[in-house]
Structures are given as structure tokens and as C-alpha cells.
Amino acid sequence: MAKDVFDPMTPLPVSPQVARRMRDVMETPRRKSSGGRIGTPSRSTIGDRYHNSRTPVQAPPAPVAAGPTSSPSTASCLGRSPRGLPPGISSPRASILCTRNLETFTKQKLGVAALSPSGGAKRGKPKERLYDRFIPNQEVIDRASAQFNLRDNTDRDKLKTLDPDTLAYQETVAKACGVSLGKRILAFNVDAPEASRHDFKATWNRPLRNPNSLVAKRRIKIEPEKILDAPGLSDDYYLNLLDWSSTNMLAIALENTVYLWNGNTGEASQLCQVARNDQYVASVQWAPDGSHLAVGLSEGDVEIWSLESLKKMRTMRGRTSRVGVLSWDKNVLSSGARDGSIWNHDVRIAQHRVAQLIQHESDVCGLKWRPDGQFLASGGNDNQVVIWDARSSIPKFTKTEHMAAVKALAWCPWQLNTLASGGGSHDRKVHFWNSSTGGKIATVDTDSQVTSIIWSLEYKEFFTAHGFPNHHLSLWKYPSLTKVGDLEGHEARVLHTALSPDGQTVATGASDENLKFWKIWETRKKNGKCTTKVEKDVTEELANAYKRLAIR
């Protein structure tokens, strides 16, 4: 029994869509060819699509026995055989070329996939499927939002010109109604699932730290290390009654008496007492070397006392108003009085007043020399901050941004051109000034009356003491101005503060008649040993120079 042999000239089974396209092409009327003849098929006819020019034309086959597979239509489609082949035998190359021509025609001209005896395209390539429409996925369509967007005739471009509050309100209302504004009406695919993973960039985008390095955590004690009674401590915002020397001696004025507390031994003793009962001590200030103490009185006199002999060295007179603040610069002592004047006293000469600075209109309650002695800062009850040049009696800069009296003044020890000033109960702000340009660097609102400012000698931080209404202490970072924390321990406003010579402990005196010591800054440790600053502090150099000072 003879095996079935595939005849390339046998019509291939096609889909109804392919048959419809082939019938449309074949029924197209013939047109004139380029030679002007009628009846000659052009290049776009069906004959050229089925037979390539390189395909040999077969000769009419020899008569064969009629069988169930032979038909007149099949015989009419056969051509001549190639050279060298007997009639009736088709060429394998002819079958391959005819199959390729049919696939090319159906793909390029008809636009649909062809069906071939081999099952479609070549092996290894997926079968091409072309569709004439897209059917949306009914399950993923938001019908409420689609109906709303179909009926909505609002111009979305014009809505972009509205203020953000109106747009936010519209989105909130649409969300409450379960409608999404501007969403696509039809959806063809299911939305991709949202990533549920954590945002690692926000967590791990930090500076890398050596895992082997041991960084000790810094802890700040919220309770004072020591508490001393201070009966008779005056509740006056404009006085300065507390100071700590470089020799670890703390001086405090209680009414008309000055007491000394030794930080090394913890012993307290009396230094001096005002002779007249109607006078009181208004200010105290240690010399840079800690060997002498200046005492300002309510009647305007300024006294110099020796720590070694515990005796009064001299009295500088000439004022008629209270001296509420003092500040040293080498051998020059500056004093601020209630009348608004500032005097510079040279303690080495008999005619002690060497300069008079006039700018304030009211009580001078803040006075600080810069550590290098080039500038003097003053604050008064007239809400002014004045920066003076040491070589002139004319103000260099005058700042009026504060809305209350300015008592708190402090120069930054590691950035000498930075001055911090704090306002009273109606201002409650700390301003930072550039003494070189006179510009304001930054401002922080403390929400409380500022009575004192102290800079850390080792950390990039500063300390503030407050009065009304909270009576607390605060620690801040600089220059970020972020608050590290608050310390609460006084029942009344904190009016006086002093820093220990090692820069670690702050003593605070309040009108509740308590003197408390707080361990704010601890010295950084290296290799398990406490180390001091490598660079000498400016105040130490001034103290060494002041040791050669002879007070007459």
C-alpha cells in the first residue's frame, strides 16, 4: 500500500478569516499593466503571491489512475516539473517554496496567521497572534469612578490653578464618596500589587560607622549633684550675684554679704560685708586668674578684694547709681550702672576711669568681654544689644530685635565672632550675632524668660536658664538649635548661673534661695583616660598674663 505523500499544490486548509481575505483579493477587477495589456495579472495578483519567480514551473503530469485523492481542481493547479524530473513527480524544493510563499502572503498581505502542515512558524519561535480588538477586564474596572468620570465635564487643567487647600478638599470629598478623580475608565489588566517591603533607603541612608568602634553613650543627669542653701538671695532680674573662678572658688552675694565656697574642699566662708545696712551687693566678678574679686555696690562703688589675704585692695568711686554688672579684660574692669553708662576702670592706676561708653537709655544688666579682648557686648533694659570696639567709645553695632530687657550675653569660646543674647519675659528669644558683620545668624524661641546663657567648652552646645513662666534649665545643640532636654529643679525663676573651671558643672541660683550644681557636660574619654583639650583656652592665656598684674 502506497504511503500518503504531501502534495504542495494541494489547497491547504485555512480559517474562515483567511478565506474571506483571499476571496476579496481574487474578486478585485484586473487593471492595466505597465505594458497597456488587459488581462495580464499585475504583481499584486494571487498568482504572484503563490508562485515565486525563482520557483520552477511544473509540466502537466502524465495520466494517472483516478483515485479518491485526484480531482480536476488538483490537476489544474499542477504545473510543469523541473528539469531532470520525470512528469508527475514534484520537487521537494517546490513544496518548500510554495509553503513559504503562502505564509508570507497571509502574514504580510492578509494580516492574519497562516496555517501550515508543520503547525505554523519555525521551531523555537512562538506562534504570532494578531487581534483586531481589546476586551477590558470587567473584574478590575471601578464602575463608580468610571461612571463619575464619564459624566464629569470639568477641565482638569484649570483645576491646577486652584489653591492647594481647595484641591485637597476635593480629593478628600471624592475619597469619602469612594470615587477616584482622573482614573482610567477601562482597565485591561489587573493592577500590579504594591510593594509591601520596608523603605530601606530611609532607614539605612546614614553615615557608616565602624562596627568595632566603641562609642560611649552620653547621659545627662536630671537631678542636681549638690544642693546648698542660699538664704537672702535677692529676687532681682537686673543683678548678677554668682561667679565661679578659675581656681575653683565660687562667690555668691546674699543681701549685703559675700560668701566663698571652695569647690575642692566643699568649705564655705565669708569674704566681706557691706558696712552700711542700707547698702547691698549688686554684682560680683572674678578676675581671669582668680586671685581678685570685684564687688559692685548699690551706691555705685566698686571694691577689689584679694583672695590670698582676704582683704580689700582698693575702692573705685565716682558713680552715683547702682552697679549691677561687671566684666574683666586683663587689667581693665568694665562696670554697667542703672543710669545706662558703662565705665572702663584700669585697676593699675589711681585715675581708674579710662573710658565711658554711652549708648543705653536704661539699666545695664548684661556685660561680657570677648575672650580675646577686642569687643565688648552690653545689654540693657532698653531692649538693646550693643557691640563695642575696644579701641573706640563709639558703638560698632546696635541691635534692637529684642522685645524685652537683655541680660543674658555669652561669646562662643570656639567661634569667637559669635555672640548669643537672650531676652526677657516679653521676648523669650535667643539671637545669635556675627560680631564681624553685625548680621543675625539664627534665632530660637525658648518660650520662657531668658536669664543666662553658657557655652560648652568641649561640645557644640549651649545652656540656658529661664525665669517666668517655667523656671527651668535647657540644653541646646548648635548650630542646629535643637533642644537636647530640660532640667527642672527650681521652684522659682533661675536668675544666676556660673560654669565650673573644668567646663562640666553649672551652678544655678534661684529666688527660691537654693544653690544647685548640675553635671551637664562630661569630658570625652580616649583610651579609657580623661583628656583635656589639646589647644589652650583663650581664658587660660589671659589668666597667665594677669598673674603679673599688680593692683595698687
Cell 564681624 belongs to which residue? 436
pLDDT of residue 249: 97
Written as nine digits, the cell of 30 is 484586473
Q: Is the pLDDT of residue 424 over 90?
A: yes
Higher pLDDT, 301 or 31: 301
Rounded mean pLDDT of 535-550? 54
Query: In terms of DSSP bridges, do strands 242-244 and 281-286 run parallel, antiparallel, or are they unpaired?
Result: unpaired
CA distance 199 to 170: 29
Q: Which one, of 46, 2, 41, lies nearest residue 24 by Cα?
A: 46
pLDDT per residue over 186-227, tens digit each? 766 666 766 666 666 665 665 555 555 444 567 888 899 999
Q: Which one, of 453, 478, 483, 482, lies nearest residue 465 by Cα?
A: 453
Higher pLDDT, 277 or 128: 277
pLDDT of residue 270: 96
Dihedral Cα 98, 100, 102, 105, nearest 10 deg? -130
- Distance between terminal CA atoms of the chain? 145
Cα separations in angstroms, 223 against 220, 455, 488, 490, 496: 9, 20, 8, 11, 18
CA distance 241 to 235: 10
Q: Other C-beta atoms within 10 Å of 526: how many?
A: 8
Cell 558703662 belongs to which residue? 342
Q: Which one, of 322, 434, 430, 303, lies nearest residue 370 by Cα?
A: 434
pLDDT of residue 238: 96
pLDDT of residue 202: 62
Q: pLDDT band for position 552 (50/70/90)?
A: very low
Residue type, 99: T
CA distance 69 to 525: 104
Q: What are the E-state strand segments in 400-510? A: 406-411, 418-423, 429-434, 440-445, 450-455, 461-466, 473-477, 483-487, 494-499, 505-510
Residue type, 419: L
Q: Which one, of 343, 342, 347, 365, lies nearest residue 306 by Cα?
A: 347
Whether 339 and 300 have beta carbons less than 8 Å apart is answered as no
Q: Is the pLDDT of residue 294 over 70?
A: yes
CA distance 89 to 394: 123
Q: pLDDT band for position 532 (50/70/90)?
A: very low
Q: pLDDT band for position 544 (50/70/90)?
A: low
DSSP 240: B
